[in-house]
């Protein structure tokens, strides 16, 4: 565990600096002036995903029971109802807003966390 704590910041710093590296020997494509920047961002994101986020996700999947994972997923699904509710109100779709509000209130109070879908 000690080596993970000391090597993770070093790995993160190296991946950040790798995004700044550039060969500079190619001409930029006039149809995509952001190509170099986009390639560096992709490289950074891919490195971060491969060495930090994917191991954390696999560890979470390995350690956390399926019932808890379902509960966490239901919680975040229930939070999505807030966005749906506001979107429906902004579009003056009051029936959809009422359904979303009812779903949010029922799932939050009764505790079934996103399992009730009357639609």
Average pLDDT estimate for 16-26: 59
pTM passes above 0.75: no
Nearest residue to 104 (alpha-carbon basis) of 92, 93, 116, 94: 116
Q: What is the pLDDT of residues 34-75, one digit of tens each?
A: 999 999 999 999 999 999 999 999 999 999 999 999 888 888
Q: Does residue 1 carry a pLDDT above 60? A: no
pLDDT category of residue 115 using cuts at 50, 70 and 90: low
Residues 6+ apart with CB under 8 A from 43: 18, 19
């Amino acid at each position: 565990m000690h080596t993970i704590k000391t090597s993770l910041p070093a790995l993160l710093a190296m991946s950040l600096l790798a995004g700044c590296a550039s060969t500079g020997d190619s001409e930029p494509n006039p149809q995509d002036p952001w190509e170099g920047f986009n390639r560096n961002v992709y490289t950074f994101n891919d490195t971060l995903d491969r060495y930090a986020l994917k191991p954390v996700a696999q560890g979470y999947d390995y350690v956390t029971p399926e019932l808890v994972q379902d509960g966490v997923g239901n919680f975040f699904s229930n939070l999505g109802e807030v966005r749906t509710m506001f979107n429906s109100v902004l579009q003056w779709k009051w029936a959809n807003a009422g359904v979303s509000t009812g779903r949010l209130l029922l799932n939050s109070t009764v505790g079934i966390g996103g399992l009730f879908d009357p639609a």
